[in-house]
Structure 1
């Protein structure tokens, strides 16, 4: 039988699977950095106070991408192309969740509604990212190669989640609560389906690279679908609740650099 720890240990120990894992992670973080950078540049005048925080969010995501690339470089590996079926950000956009890249490429100011959608979408996706990083820290926080960058990313993801909670609560207090809950629910229900599909695709790729026997691959797929079933029945609600975080002003100030890894 296998556990989450043994599964990730197998992926980390093999150069080819590690290369794919880090490439997928780096690509997603780089996309997040670009998106936040564009949103910061296009924030409407009425909400310009958010621009530095969105810029900081984007800088953190860029840093995370560099950290994953640096992990590859330490093994003498280069990034590989990301299979489209594993592209979480692109698949969310196709579901109409978040702000479309086409809109972000225009030099037209966003609306207050766009920022509400961005923050709601981020609250959902940052919950997923934070949950994943907590798991990785639990199993590999002391790993000699990956431990420190994983801990750094986990800290940043906690900050991002706190920022989303705080800003959405501020907007809810200004009268946007019902719309925020609508967008959060829509985003969460779409995200859990995309996460299931991406997880199945990633594990299928890893199975091919690592030569997993069919029973093992089938058991993993069953587990992924089981998680989706739980989330569809009500687990998604953890992604839409809003509580004032202990970390207030979590994205005030510049991004923390990581020069030894970048």
Structure 2
């Protein structure tokens, strides 16, 4: 029977698919670490109180990248080049989501509007990351090889999501509510499209590596299409809703150390 558990177990058990999975994940986390580091360095003077939290966010992302690389080393595997069609962060940037790398490469202070856009973008992508980690914990949280890493990353993603909610609500209270809702909706609709595109590309690559028969590949593609249809119809609303989190000041301290894999 085809299920999310059996699908991920198949990917986990094969060195080639596991190598691709970890390489894609490590690349995305490293990119997020760099982006947050640059944003922290360029925060406008009026919002300097956010710089330590953005720095912590970037440090967590860097740590996640190291964790995925450590999982590869544990199997004696080297990372592979990430296929462009599976590069979630790059494709989001090309669609205008988040802050352009051209801007981050300059040594010019960002604007308050830039930081608002960054937080709104992060609220969307961290929701995606948190949801994915919840699913992985459900199936592999107790797995001897990857369980500890998954649990740590999931806790960090929950912190990142809580931080985005809290800071955006604070900015909304300062009069930016309409702008925040507009940016959130725009980001969510584009992110859903990119996630759909990347999901199909990753499954196509995995199918080739694992030799999936055409009916299985077609069934998985249909599942990805159905998720996309739901998110376009109603699921995007979850991504744009802001609620005060139970975890307050979730990024107020230093980043935790990566576990020994």
Answer whether TM exceeds 0.5 for this pair: yes
The CA distance in 2 between the partners of 1:234 and 1:64, in whole Å, is: 31
The CA distance in 2 between the partners of 1:27 and 1:69, in whole Å, is: 10
1:63 aligns with 2:63: yes
TM-score, with structure 1 as normaliser: 0.99
The CA distance in 1 between the partners of 2:40 and 2:245, in whole Å, is: 23
Q: Which residue in 2 is equivalent to 1:222?
A: 222
- Between the two proteins, the alignment pairs up a number of residues equal to 261
The CA distance in 2 between the partners of 1:48 and 1:141, in whole Å, is: 37
Deviation at 1:174, TM superposition (A): 0.2
SS in 1 for 2:199: helix
| Ranges in structure 2 where 5+ consecutive residues have no aligned partner | none
The CA distance in 2 between the partners of 1:240 and 1:137, in whole Å, is: 24
Q: Which residue in 2 is equivalent to 1:102?
A: 102
1:100-249 pair list within 5 angstroms: 100-249=100-249
Q: Which residue in 2 is equivalent to 1:18?
A: 18
Q: Which residue in 2 is equivalent to 1:73?
A: 73
Alignment deviations for residues 32-77 of structure 1 (CA, whole Å, 9 cap, x no partner): 0000000000000000000000000000000000000000000000
1:5 aligns with 2:15: no
Point out 4+ residue stretches in structure 1 off by more than 3 angstroms.
none
**Contact preservation (8 Å) 2:149, 2:259:** no
Task: Kindly report the root-mean-square deviation, in angstroms, between the aligned alpha carbons of the 2 structures.
Answer: 0.5
Deviation at 1:259, TM superposition (A): 5.0
The CA distance in 2 between the partners of 1:199 and 1:102, in whole Å, is: 27
The CA distance in 2 between the partners of 1:92 and 1:39, in whole Å, is: 17
| Ranges in structure 1 where 5+ consecutive residues have no aligned partner | none
The CA distance in 1 between the partners of 2:156 and 2:92, in whole Å, is: 22
The CA distance in 2 between the partners of 1:159 and 1:26, in whole Å, is: 19
SS in 2 for 1:145: coil
SS in 2 for 1:234: helix
The CA distance in 1 between the partners of 2:28 and 2:260, in whole Å, is: 22
Deviation at 1:4, TM superposition (A): 0.2
TM-score, with structure 2 as normaliser: 0.99
SS in 2 for 1:93: helix
The CA distance in 1 between the partners of 2:211 and 2:109, in whole Å, is: 49
The CA distance in 2 between the partners of 1:259 and 1:131, in whole Å, is: 22
